[in-house]
Amino acid sequence: MNLTDNTILITGGTSGIGRALAEAFYQRGNQVIIAGRRQHLLDEITAAHSGMHGIQLDVQDPADIEAFASRIREQFPKLNVLIDNAGISKTEDLTSDPIDFFAIQSMIQTNIVGVLHLTALLLPTLKQQPHSTIITTTSNLAFVPISPYPTYCASKAFLHSWLQSLRVQLRKTSVEVLELVPPYVQTELGGASQATDPAAMPLADYIAEVMQILSTPNLPHGEILVNRSKAYRFAERNGDYEQIFASRNEK
């Protein structure tokens, strides 16, 4: 992937990894469009970055996704990078009565259905470009889940599998398919305390390593893996899965 002269759309671009990626790509001279639910954050970020665009999007609303994609196709016909980053994470107690199925459904809609829907709508535009890239954010929890987050982990495992098939189906087109596999990073995805948790990877360090990896051609298996993600990613291959799973789920 070229790191400059792109037109890049980033969902979930108002906080955490999405915002940090938007700023990193902006600093490299790309045209960047961020999408998110909170208009005040879109306004704040774009005001601080002249030329960056912010468009409100609720990925849990199929009609909003349709309207958003139509606007993107019309306003940014040279779109050549889609970063599917929007996602939510919630703990679940599957022993409770009743189980909060609304929380489960919202994660599936945001983390899976919204990603597939928006990608399908923008893929024709991406295929029209000489070189284009789809980057979808998964998680190292796609490979070794932790029990308090069953649906979140499963949603990321789904995306990992889906991306493998998408990559093969698009191999004869101009579209490169990459998977961003974050470790535990200092963002507010899992709550405010995660942003300052010393056990989590500092966000700036994560983004710096990601941008370095992206500058490398022909990524193995199309996966953007920082060093902290590799133990999880290759746990099965290395024979460490049971040990890592037990250590993360011992409570």
Nearest to 83 by CA among 119, 52, 107: 119
Average pLDDT, integer, range 162-187: 97
pLDDT at residue 190 greater than cutoff 80? no
* pLDDT score at 73: 97
Average pLDDT, integer, range 222-245: 96
pLDDT, one tens digit per residue, over 112-128 is 999 999 999 999 999 99
* pLDDT score at 209: 97
What domains are defined for the chain? 7-248 (3.40.50.720)
Tally of helices (H runs) and strands (E runs) in the chain: 10, 7
* pLDDT score at 219: 81
* pLDDT score at 218: 79
For residue 28, give Cα distances in angstroms to 2, 3, 8, 79, 244. 10, 7, 12, 16, 38
User: Given pLDDT bands bounded at 50, 70 and 90, which one contains residue 251?
Assistant: low
| 132-137/175-180 β-pairing | parallel
Q: What distance in Å separates the CA atoms of residue 184 and residue 140, rounded to the nearest whole number?
A: 8
User: Given pLDDT bands bounded at 50, 70 and 90, which one contains residue 220?
Assistant: confident
pLDDT, one tens digit per residue, over 132-173 is 999 999 999 999 999 999 999 999 999 999 999 999 999 999
Q: What distance in Å separates the CA atoms of residue 50 and residue 187, rounded to the nearest whole number?
A: 25
Q: Share the mean pLDDT of the chain.
A: 95
* pLDDT score at 221: 87
Which of 131-135, 194-198, 215-219 has the least mean pLDDT? 215-219
Q: What distance in Å separates the CA atoms of residue 123 and residue 146, rounded to the nearest whole number?
A: 33
pLDDT at residue 16 greater than cutoff 80? yes
* pLDDT score at 192: 83
CA-angle at 108, arms to 106 and 110, nearest 5°: 65
User: Given pLDDT bands bounded at 50, 70 and 90, which one contains residue 233?
Assistant: very high
pLDDT, one tens digit per residue, over 81-116 is 999 999 999 999 999 999 999 999 999 999 999 999
Reported pTM: 0.95
User: Given pLDDT bands bounded at 50, 70 and 90, which one contains residue 178?
Assistant: very high
16 C-beta neighbours (distance < 10 Å), count: 21
The residues carrying an active-site annotation are: 152
